[in-house]
Amino acid sequence: MKKKLLHSWTFLRKHLSIIRIFAVSFIVIMLFVDDNSFLQSFLYDRKIRELKKEIEHYQGVIENSQQQLNELRSNSENLEKFAREQYLMKKSNEDIYIIEDSKNE
């Protein structure tokens, strides 16, 4: 009986160490190595947050541009003002002087 228990205990100890090795290996693989690892998942989540911030930024830019476009289409004075300020356009009998502020440099 003792011999049988000793044999069972030895068998169990031997296999428990193998199970531990597999468990540790599995944990290491899941944490660091696998494509679906926790580390990779964290990096993907961070990238998603960054991309969502970019989406919000560009949606704001699009809204501002659409508002500006509507203003330009609705009023010819706004169109002329925009062309003068942004593209330095002028009428044939005008001169343009650009004054730079030294504080902005």
Nearest CA-CA partner of 70 in 82, 55, 58, 88: 82
The tally of CA atoms less than 13 A away on the side-chain side of residue 87 is: 8
> Which tokens go with 68?
């500006």
Q: Are 84 and 90 in contact (CB under 8 A)?
A: yes
pLDDT of residue 56: 98
Q: Are 30 and 37 in contact (CB under 8 A)?
A: yes
The residue written with tokens 């000793």 in the block is: 6
Provide the pLDDT confidence category of residue 102 given band limits of 50, 70 and 90. confident
- The per-residue pLDDT for range 48-90, each reduced to its tens digit, is 999 999 999 999 999 999 998 898 888 888 888 888 878 877 7
Domain layout of the chain by residue ranges: 7-36, 46-90
pLDDT over threshold 70, residue 91:
yes
Single pTM value for the model: 0.53
User: What is the Cα–Cα distance from 39 to 37, expressed in whole angstroms?
Assistant: 5
pLDDT of residue 23: 84
- The per-residue pLDDT for range 11-42, each reduced to its tens digit, is 777 777 777 778 888 888 877 777 777 888 88
| Residues contacting residue 90 through CB under 8 Å, at least 6 positions apart | 84, 96
pLDDT of residue 44: 92
56 to each of 29, 45, 47, 49, 80, how far by Cα in Å? 36, 17, 14, 11, 31
pLDDT over threshold 60, residue 105:
no
